Every structure is written in structure tokens, then in C-alpha cells.
């Protein structure tokens, strides 16, 4: 029979758990497989823990069942950790035009994959380029100051916004559709450990390898993937979305159109609203990226064990002050990472963070963001948040007049004084000293200050001498939501499926991939 044994202490992250489980239970076991591994950094001695599926003789099971953390392996465990069943049955036959998917970020890719698996013909249109052309373009922009390509950059191109990221897979789930997504990722080259690691991440280098394999797999499923294919309009026939128009003038007829354009394709979002898709403004969070030497974070989290071969430490902090004050949180923390210019438009500056799989860099960075409401945007209509973001990003660019980012030491930001000198930073295009309070509205500055002080009380050194702020982190999510019905079609324009982060659904690789997968299933269900 099988038992679930939790809190198995491992010598190292990748240790085979069989000896630890046998020692813990004090009986012989046939097999032990870790279904989840996590680092427990509480207390003085951080340790690797595993949850294991253990095969054991019935008579021995009777002796140990009921011990702390030991119980029978249940149907629920099987659903959560076992192999998922095929979730989408194949369509029997498909006549008529293909389904068009716009955007090859996580939402578009997993929508295309799900449709392809079901035998639905798909055309996947991406305005940017394949990673083989995209990565050198971004590197030339950073390192050789090659002019920004507005169609092929850190935000646009194969893999979408997540390609140059830490590749954090932010979910505890491994069951159902999320399990399916994780297994898709492993199938195209992700490290199988993501199936069992609690806070799994891929790293930008791994993502760049996974994407061509994923593309090839889509090709095998009959998905036509086209790069340099920017959608500029929708074909609307008898009140229904019936295809798309490309910048080249080409018209592509579609059975249904899934638009997964991301939070930075403002032109595409505006076009959908102009074509009748109903939308509302929604809250978002805005602020700065904070950077510390990774050593500071390791010492704060691991204490004396810092430097003893433990992985670079991370954190996740929140601040909810009483009363009406703004809430704040850290977001998209990148251990051993790099602060990057996350830009797709001329004379606009936005920062974000990424890491490689090894997280081996000298710095740790994270967003520190404060919530803002649609009434703060100062405009009316569903797209008012874009104008607010745009003005902030233009102010930030104007500080240096190029891609160098405004920066200030945390201690100086808190004391309302300029930074006479700046520490070294991972940001690849240079930083310039600037009082960051001048970029933001006063309420947001007060929120940032309160949060920094609070986070410093939780993580020693967070607001210390070595901490640096780089700004602005203005695109944490989309400030607009395209409304859709229970069938996931646009309210106002049937046949159009607004999907993923740009449409206001999900924020992050897994949540947007899940939204794409579910939208694909809705298209299949609607087709009967």
C-alpha cells in the first residue's frame, strides 16, 4: 500500500528520500518518491523538507500509520500529485476557418497548445520575433545601445513578457490544469524538479531553451506559428469577431479570436475596445525596484548559516496599515538577479527583474509596490490607467534622457535628500541619482516610505545603507479589464476571447497560462 509521509528532512535538496523515510518510520519500505520539496527557512537551521509517496508492506503500514505526518495515500493525493488525465478530449472533426491566437506569451502559448492537443487548427500570431532573433536584439539594446525595436524587445516576442524573467512558477498546485501546465513545461525541457519543488522557478536561460522546443511541439500538433505578425484590427461580421487584420494588410479569417496581447500592447487593447469589447479600469500597484547585495538577504534569512551552500534567499513581504492608508507588498523577487529595462516604447522607462536558473548573481531585487485605484488615474474611461502609466514612464525617461534609470539609496529616499553617490547595480544600462519622490504622487511616496520601514523591521537591512531603489516599476499588471461572460467571450463582441494579463486576467506565468488553457477549452466547448 501507499502512504503519504510529510516533513521528511533531506540532507540536500536533491537527496533521494528513501533512507530518510526508512529511518523516520523505522521499518523497511519498497520505495519513496518525493512529490514536493521545499526549503524551511524558519528557525536557526534552514532545512530541506519533502512530502513523499511511500510504498510499504501492509503489515508494516499498520504499524506506522497515524504517526505524526504519516497517513494513507488518498484519492485526493493522487489527484494532486499523480499523473493528470487528459483534460481536453479531441474534437471529432473541424470544418471552417482556424482559431486565431494573438500573442505568444504564456496565455497564448498554452491556449494554442490546448487547442492543438484537441485537434483544432490554430494560427498563432506574434508581433515580435522568435527567441533566436529576440535574445540578440535585447542584448544589443542593453550592451551596445542599439535603438529600441518597438516590435521585438523584452516585452514583445516569443514567450512574451516572461522570457526575460526569473521564471517563477507561482503556485502550490500540481493537480488538475496547473499540473497539466507543469507537465507540458517538463515535456518541452523544463527541469522535472518543478513538479515537486514548492517555489519552483525556471530562469531566463532555461526559458530561452524551452521555447524553441515548445514551438516545435506546437508545429507537430499542426499549429501554424507566425512571427513579425502584428494584429492591427479585428474583422467584425454581423456583430461577431470573424478574424484579424495584420499590419501588412493581410486578413486572416477565424472561427474565434483569442487575444493574449499582454499588459504592454496598449495599441491592441485600445483597438479591441474601439471594436466594441466592453472594458473597465481596474486597480493596479506601482512603485520601485529595490536592490540589495544578495549577501544582505542571505544573512537576514539564514543568519549564521548564510554562505553554507544554501540557495540564494528570497522574501515576500506585505504591509497593510490600519485605516485608509495604502497597502504595499513586494513582488516578483529575483534572488541572484538583474534589474532590467522592461520597455517597448521610445522615451518611456520601466524597470523589472529577471534571474538565470542558477540565481548566481551578486544582487537580489524585488518590486516594492503600492496599490492605486482607478480614481487615482485622474482620467475617465476604461483606458485612463494607460495615460497615467505613460506619464510616469515619460517622466522617468526624461531624468536622463536615455535608458539610464533614476535611482536613490533607500536611506536618502526616507530622509528626503538626494544621493551623493550610488552603490553598484546590476541594471545593465546605467543608473543616475535622482530624488524618486519627484516621480510619484505624494500619497504613493508616503506608502512607499511606510512600507520600506515596515519591511526593514521584518528583514534586517532591507532599508539599510546598501539598499538601492530604481524606478519606476509601473507595469506590475494591467490597469484595464476586458469584460467577458461565463463562456469567456467578450462582452460586446462575441467570437473574441480576451485572455491573459493584458485583458486583466492573471498576473504571472502560471495564472496567465491557466487562463489561456481555460479559454481554449471554452472555444472547444462552444464549438460543440
Span interacting with ligand FAD, options 76-84, 182-190, 359-367, 502-510, rule CB under 6 A: 502-510
Asked if 495 contacts 233 with a C-beta cutoff of 8 angstroms, the reply is: no
- Give the one residue of 17, 98, 121, 160 binding ligand FAD; rule: CB under 6 A: 160
Minimum Å distance from CB 196 to ligand FAD? 18
Q: Choose among 197, 207, 205: nearest CA to 14.
A: 197
- Give the one residue of 116, 167, 179, 472 binding ligand FAD; rule: CB under 6 A: 167
Q: What is the spatial order of strands in the sheet that 99-102 belongs to?
A: 223-226, 122-125, 99-102, 256-259, 496-498
Question: Which residue, 489 or 512, has its beta carbon nearer to ligand FAD?
Answer: 512
Minimum Å distance from CB 129 to ligand FAD? 9
CA distances from 307 to 299, 302, 313, 315 (A): 8, 9, 10, 17
Minimum Å distance from CB 389 to ligand FAD? 14
What is the chain's Cα-based Rg? 24
Span interacting with ligand FAD, options 88-96, 308-316, 458-466, 494-502, rule CB under 6 A: 494-502
Asked if 342 contacts 475 with a C-beta cutoff of 8 angstroms, the reply is: yes
Q: Choose among 269, 255, 250, 330: nearest CA to 103.
A: 269
Instruction: Classify strands 496-498 and 256-259 as parallel, antiparallel or unpaired.
Output: parallel
Minimum Å distance from CB 343 to ligand FAD? 10
**Taking the CB of residue 217, how many other CB atoms lie within 10 A of it?**
17
Minimum Å distance from CB 227 to ligand FAD? 9
The reply on whether position 234 binds ligand FAD by CB under 6 A is no
Interface map 98-137 toward ligand FAD (x if CB under 6 A): ----xxxxxxx----------------xxxx---------
The reply on whether position 262 binds ligand FAD by CB under 6 A is yes
The reply on whether position 157 binds ligand FAD by CB under 6 A is yes
Instruction: Tell the residue number behind the cell numbers 516576442, with chain if given.
Output: 157
What residues are paired with 258 via a beta bridge? 101, 497
The reply on whether position 231 binds ligand FAD by CB under 6 A is yes
Minimum Å distance from CB 323 to ligand FAD? 31
Question: Which residue, 230 or 409, has its beta carbon nearer to ligand FAD?
Answer: 230
Span interacting with ligand FAD, options 215-223, 259-267, 367-375, 423-431, rule CB under 6 A: 259-267
Span interacting with ligand FAD, options 131-139, 162-170, 182-190, 391-399, rule CB under 6 A: 162-170
Instruction: Classify strands 431-433 and 405-409 as parallel, antiparallel or unpaired.
Output: parallel
The reply on whether position 473 binds ligand FAD by CB under 6 A is no
Alpha-carbon dihedral angle through residues 512, 518, 523, 527, given to the nearest 10 degrees: 170
**Taking the CB of residue 478, how many other CB atoms lie within 10 A of it?**
27
Asked if 252 contacts 353 with a C-beta cutoff of 8 angstroms, the reply is: no
Asked if 4 contacts 74 with a C-beta cutoff of 8 angstroms, the reply is: yes
Site for ligand FAD in 310-349 (CB under 6 A): 332, 340, 342
Question: Which residue, 165 or 419, has its beta carbon nearer to ligand FAD?
Answer: 165
Q: Choose among 162, 168, 135, 166: nearest CA to 354.
A: 166
Question: Which residue, 47 or 209, has its beta carbon nearer to ligand FAD?
Answer: 209
Encode burial over 427-460: b for 16+ CB neighbours within 10 A, e otherwise: bbbebebbbbbebbbeebbebbbbbbebbbeebe
Minimum Å distance from CB 93 to ligand FAD? 29
The reply on whether position 361 binds ligand FAD by CB under 6 A is no
Minimum Å distance from CB 434 to ligand FAD? 22
Minimum Å distance from CB 286 to ligand FAD? 14
Question: Which residue, 46 or 504, has its beta carbon nearer to ligand FAD?
Answer: 504
- Give the one residue of 241, 265, 410, 482 binding ligand FAD; rule: CB under 6 A: 265
Q: Choose among 287, 450, 282, 451: nearest CA to 369.
A: 287
Interface map 52-91 toward ligand FAD (x if CB under 6 A): ----------------------------------------
Q: Choose among 521, 496, 513: nearest CA to 240.
A: 496
The reply on whether position 166 binds ligand FAD by CB under 6 A is yes
What are the φ and ψ backbone dihedral angles of 454, each rounded to 5 degrees?
Answer: -65, -45
CA distances from 92 to 89, 95, 120, 366, 378 (A): 9, 10, 9, 48, 51
The reply on whether position 366 binds ligand FAD by CB under 6 A is no
- Give the one residue of 8, 88, 161, 210 binding ligand FAD; rule: CB under 6 A: 161
Residues that bind ligand FAD (CB under 6 A): 102-108, 125-128, 156-157, 160-162, 164-168, 170, 230-231, 260-262, 265, 268, 332, 340, 342, 352, 354, 500-502, 507-509, 512
Amino acid at each position: 500500500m501507499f502512504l503519504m509521509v510529510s516533513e521528511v528532512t533531506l540532507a540536500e535538496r536533491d537527496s533521494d528520500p528513501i533512507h530518510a523515510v526508512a529511518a523516520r518510520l523505522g521499518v523497511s519500505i519498497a520505495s519513496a518518491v518525493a512529490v514536493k520539496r521545499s526549503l524551511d527557512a524558519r528557525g536557526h537551521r534552514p532545512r530541506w523538507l519533502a512530502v513523499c509517496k511511500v510504498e510499504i508492506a501492509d503489515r508494516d503500514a499498520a504499524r506506522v500509520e497515524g504517526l505524526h505526518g504519516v497517513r494513507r495515500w488518498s484519492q485526493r493525493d493522487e489527484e494532486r500529485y499523480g499523473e493528470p488525465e487528459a483534460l481536453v478530449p479531441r474534437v471529432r472533426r473541424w470544418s471552417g476557418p482556424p482559431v486565431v491566437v494573438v500573442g505568444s506569451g504564456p496565455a497564448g502559448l498554452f491556449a494554442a497548445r490546448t487547442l492543438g492537443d484537441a485537434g483544432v487548427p490554430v494560427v498563432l500570431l506574434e508581433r515580435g520575433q522568435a527567441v533566436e532573433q529576440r535574445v540578440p536584439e535585447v542584448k544589443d539594446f542593453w550592451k551596445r545601445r542599439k535603438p529600441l525595436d518597438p516590435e521585438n524587445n523584452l516585452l514583445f516576442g516569443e514567450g512574451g513578457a516572461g522570457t526575460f524573467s526569473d521564471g517563477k512558477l507561482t503556485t502550490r498546485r500540481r493537480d488538475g490544469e496547473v499540473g497539466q501546465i507543469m507537465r507540458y513545461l517538463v515535456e518541452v525541457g523544463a527541469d522535472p524538479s518543478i513538479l515537486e519543488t514548492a517555489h519552483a522557478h525556471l530562469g531566463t536561460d532555461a526559458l530561452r531553451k524551452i521555447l524553441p522546443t515548445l514551438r516545435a511541439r506546437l508545429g507537430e500538433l499542426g499549429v501554424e506559428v507566425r512571427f513579425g505578425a502584428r494584429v492591427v484590427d479585428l474583422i467584425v461580421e454581423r456583430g461577431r469577431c470573424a478574424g484579424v487584420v495584420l499590419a501588412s494588410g493581410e486578413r486572416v479569417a477565424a472561427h474565434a479570436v483569442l487575444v493574449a496581447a499582454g499588459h504592454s500592447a496598449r495599441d491592441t487593447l485600445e483597438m479591441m475596445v474601439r471594436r466594441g469589447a466592453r472594458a473597465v479600469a481596474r486597480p493596479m500597484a506601482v512603485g520601485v525596484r529595490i536592490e540589495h547585495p544578495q549577501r544582505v538577504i542571505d544573512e537576514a534569512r539564514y543568519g549564521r548559516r548564510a554562505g553554507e551552500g544554501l540557495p540564494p534567499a528570497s522574501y515576500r513581504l506585505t504591509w497593510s496599515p490600519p485605516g485608509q492608508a495604502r497597502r504595499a507588498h513586494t513582488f516578483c523577487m529575483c534572488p541572484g538577479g538583474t534589474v532590467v529595462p522592461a520597455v517597448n516604447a521610445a522615451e518611456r522607462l520601466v524597470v523589472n527583474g529577471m534571474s538565470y536558473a542558477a540565481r548566481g548573481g551578486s544582487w537580489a531585487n524585488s518590486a516594492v509596490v503600492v496599490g492605486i485605484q482607478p480614481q487615482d488615474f485622474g482620467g475617465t474611461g476604461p483606458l485612463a490607467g494607460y495615460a497615467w502609466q505613460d506619464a510616469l514612464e515619460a517622466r522617468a525617461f526624461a531624468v536622463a534622457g536615455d535608458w539610464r534609470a533614476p535611482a536613490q539609496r533607500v536611506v536618502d529616499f526616507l530622509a528626503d535628500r538626494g544621493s551623493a553617490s550610488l552603490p553598484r547595480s546590476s541594471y545593465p544600462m546605467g543608473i543616475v541619482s535622482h530624488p524618486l519622490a519627484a516621480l510619484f504622487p505624494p500619497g504613493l511616496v508616503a506608502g512607499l516610505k511606510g512600507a520600506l520601514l515596515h519591511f526593514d523591521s521584518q528583514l534586517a537591512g532591507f532599508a539599510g545603507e546598501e539598499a538601492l531603489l530604481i524606478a519606476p516599476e509601473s507595469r506590475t499588471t494591467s490597469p484595464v479589464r476586458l469584460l467577458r461572460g461565463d463562456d469567456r467571450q467578450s462582452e460586446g463582441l462575441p467570437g473574441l476571447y480576451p485572455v491573459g494579463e493584458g485583458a486583466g486576467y492573471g498576473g504571472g506565468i502560471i495564472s496567465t497560462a491557466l487562463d489561456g488553457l481555460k479559454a481554449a477549452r471554452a472555444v472547444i466547448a462552444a464549438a460543440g
